[in-house]
Structure 1
Amino acid sequence: MRKSLVFLTGFMGSGKSTIGPLLAQHLGYDFLDVDDLIEDIEGKKIVDIFREKGEIYFRNIERKILIETVLKLSRFVVALGGGTITFADNLYLVKESGILIYLMANPEVLLQRIKYKTDRPLLLDHQGNILPEKLLFERILSLLKMREPFYLQADILVSTEKSIEETIDEILNKLEGKIA
């Protein structure tokens, strides 16, 4: 059955927000970043939601938005948060509603892409500061170890360690015949 939602999953820095809009443009779809939608609805940055209300609150809001808004869309490329599919039955809901693509990158590449980002709450210390590089790398490895079993259940797996154009071409080839 052809589907009209394409979901992008992967770790922070894997390229979801970069690849997503360009892929949507190639497909003639619209693009939605779930984290941006959450920030709009909550009126706060993700990092502030985590700090003020905690991860469980955030995951519950994320799930509610997924069910009440995102899954009802058509002809969209949707960038999910890095942990979205690890919570509750979100993986099942996403795969039932569309094609799930895992954007992969090795931990060293991810570290280089995100080591200066201050908007990634799971990569900050308790004071909201960027972790030292060694601790940051350990945190990436730890989170990847927990999330990878979920990511690997995606319908399509694509490395983002090549050019953006090559990555999009590979995704388009793998999507052929699978979307409406």
Structure 2
Amino acid sequence: MRIILIGYMASGKSLIGRELARVLDFEFLDLDDFIEENEKMPISEIFSEKGEIVFRKIENNYLKEVLSSKNKMVLSLGGGTPCFSNNLKVILEDKNAKSFFLNVPVSELAKRLMADKENRPLVNYVSNEEDMLEFVGKHIFERLSFYNQANFKIEANKPKEEVVEDIISKLF
């Protein structure tokens, strides 16, 4: 079984994914980390040096590789992964996978991103919480139609242990 976590930046995909993998005794893999490790450069550098189109092709290839080669895994995707190439189709057609959209209110995402914006190239230029709220609101609106196609939608604005319990209750 493969458990795939999707959602916007700062929705807790990696945090929840690590805990879920620990509880289930599954391998945890963050697709962004996997890409950086294999490409030997940060994603922000891939974007700036090769462009988003090349990055999205690389991302699609690694997603397919990971899904075809690993089982008993919790996979955390980048916020944009389901929205590009045929990634969502690849995810939804994987008979051994269940996808979960970690839903967090826009106001909470904006707060989390303001606190961590220096590590988030997409939003590091945003100067205040009001502008962050506007950016996230518009951006997530564009992505919701993809996120909402996940097998399950989990309200993820609560302690990680509760989110993990909610995910497990949908699996078994």
Same fold (TM over 0.5): yes
1:123 aligns with 2:120: no
* Deviations 1:84-143 (CA, angstroms, capped at 9, x unpaired): 11112111111122100000101110011111322323224xxxxx31223322221121
Which residue does the alignment assign to 1:106? 105
Following superposition, the deviation at residue 165 of structure 1 comes to 1.0
1:119 & 1:48 partners in 2: Cα distance?
A: 13
Which residue does the alignment assign to 2:159? 163
1:74-113 matches, within 5 Å, as 74-97=71-94, 98-113=97-112
Which residue does the alignment assign to 1:47? 44
- Secondary structure of the residue aligned to 1:32 is strand
Which residue does the alignment assign to 1:132? 127
What amino acid does structure 2 have at the position aligned with 1:26?
A: V
1:20 aligns with 2:46: no
Report % sequence identity. Answer: 38
* Cα pair 2:56 2:85 within 8 Å, conserved: no
Which contiguous aligned blocks of 4+ residues in structure 1 show a shift greater than 4 angstroms? none
* Deviations 1:59-78 (CA, angstroms, capped at 9, x unpaired): 11100111123332111000
Q: For the aligned residues, what is the CA RMSD? A: 1.3
Q: Specify whether residues 71 and 147 from structure 1 end up closer, same or farther in structure 2 by C-alpha distance, changes over 3 A only.
A: farther
1:69 & 1:170 partners in 2: Cα distance?
A: 25
1:58 aligns with 2:93: no
* Deviations 1:8-56 (CA, angstroms, capped at 9, x unpaired): 0000000001000110111121000000011111111112222222221
1:23 & 1:88 partners in 2: Cα distance?
A: 27
1:36 aligns with 2:33: yes
State the TM-score, normalizing by the size of structure 1. Answer: 0.88
* Cα pair 2:6 2:102 within 8 Å, conserved: yes
Which residue does the alignment assign to 1:127? none
Which residue does the alignment assign to 2:138? 142
* Cα pair 2:11 2:109 within 8 Å, conserved: yes
What amino acid does structure 2 have at the position aligned with 1:131?
A: V
- Secondary structure of the residue aligned to 1:82 is coil
- Secondary structure of the residue aligned to 1:171 is helix
State the TM-score, normalizing by the size of structure 2. Answer: 0.92
Q: Specify whether residues 18 and 86 from structure 1 end up closer, same or farther in structure 2 by C-alpha distance, changes over 3 A only.
A: same
